[in-house]
Structure 1
Amino acid sequence: MIQVESVEKAYTSRKNTVRVLERVSLEVRPGEVCALLGRNGSGKTTTIRIICGLVLPDAGRVSINGYTLGEPEYMAQFGALIDTNRGLYPRLSPLENLQYTCMVRGMSRQAAVERAKHLLEELGLWDKRNAPTQTLSKGMLSKLAFANAIAHDPPFVLLDEPTLGLDIDAAEALEAQIRQMAQSGKGILLTTHQMEVAERLASRVAILSKGRIAVDRPKSELMAMFARQTYRVVLAEPLLEDILPMAHSLDETRTVLEVSLEHPRQIYELMDKLRPAPIKHIERLEADLGEIFKTLTKEPHHV
């Protein structure tokens, strides 16, 4: 388990001190995809870099599987993809880069060759295995950096904006790999500004706001907390009269109606009011992660 306990970080200049993280606590369990979300400057990347050992916290404790930062075994517990620190050698080929990473992490030469081949095939890079890495496209580089992060098959993986800049096919392939890793029992901590990516992948969501954890809950629980009593009704004929007492809106054709109810029982009142009009379809609109994120990061919240 990744455990971040009461971590604090501030940067001081001659003019002022900026507190980036304030008593941040976070856990990532095996088999879990935890999306760490936040606006620009909220402390997401700083948190990832502290876990990686690239930045030292001012206070607090970080451990992975019981090993604390500074112990030799700590670094073997995770792989990391950080956009500003891809760790690739541009003149080496993808095959050579992955073999090197595997051997540095303790694999035999034969095991390193097999692992590198497997990852390149899985990510669709086998045809480029012998090309200099510096000649690869941005999308290919992103996939190779991801492969490099997981080359030694670590129990935990840290991903900072893993799908940024990828085309749709590359992004889908990467997302499939992340799901597969979680299903195999690996713990994943990822940051992203793409709410739809977090909604598809995450089983748990932690939101940073102004350097503090505003919420940290299973995604299903968080979505249920913000469930709306809003319904979309599609009518077969235009609604000619405004006959509804509850808050609602109509589209230009007056056939698509969105209604906000104060309690679930009002659905029967809605149906009764609409009874003369033939209804083609009715559905409840669910809150999406983007809406929840915007609500929680407007002002400090603690849920």
Structure 2
Amino acid sequence: MFKHFIMTAALLPQITIAQERTLAVSGLPVWDSAALLYLVEAQPLADQGITFTFEPWQAPEELSARLARQDIAIASTPSILVPVLAARGVDIAMLGGSAPAGNIQIVSSSENGDIAVPFRGGMPDLILQSLGGTDGFTPRYAGTPPEAMQLFLSGQVSATFLAEPLVTVVAAQAEAEVTLTDVCTLWRDIHGTENCAVTGAYVAVGLADEEAHLIAEALSDAYDIVGSDATLAGRLLKDSFPVLAQAPLAIAFSNITPEFHPMCDIDGLTQTLNALSPYAPFPIDPKAVPSKGC
């Protein structure tokens, strides 16, 4: 009878999640969102009762509020938001970090003037300050990366700080010749590290530990898949962001070397936050990186 019980149990569907539910994931029109979009397209956890939908976010303040309300469950965020959210009492879990080489560039058409920087006091601003700024340039803050791109293309600024694929969009559309300066190279030289800054963090709210680990594994796989297929990553972003419809994304993403930091591996993120904290307009405690589920 005991043998019969084991055989019967083996035939039953494997159930690891208490109830079926759909989780909203969110990101910007940048490479890091491709992994989330792959989760939506492939639905790798549908047999575990978890499905995904995608909703873009526009500004850090909006993202923070939506995570706090749990309007969205998973987001690709600037890593600087991780300790901020934790300090505000948002119960987040770190699902992974992103430190792709070749992803962030300073695009310039001259050696001086204004430089458009998305998000005053945000990740791009703090990285630029930690690098000592750029000689001859004065920051001009934009509300979003596409706005920073348009300021440059319209000739209102002489440089801009952008991530792919907007870097390639600007280089293709600019009327004058542009110079690209790789931010990862500057970061390594100035901060004496072999790694790029962990600029992106995948965070989650409202997940049980079991769910968080399950999704983190699926996210890691998705990151590897889109990281090795620039055409796929480009298609996923074009399908979700009309602003990128005509962008040469396959070319842009072929210049990126992805690097994923798995859940519970927070050393790279902590090092990045330590480098940025002296320049932040708000207190940043690198030790406040959440270890929920680890």
TM-score by length of 1: 0.27
Higher relative contact order (CA 8 A, sep 6+): 2
Which has the larger helix fraction?
2
Structure label with greater radius of gyration: 1
Which has the larger strand fraction?
1
TM-score by length of 2: 0.27
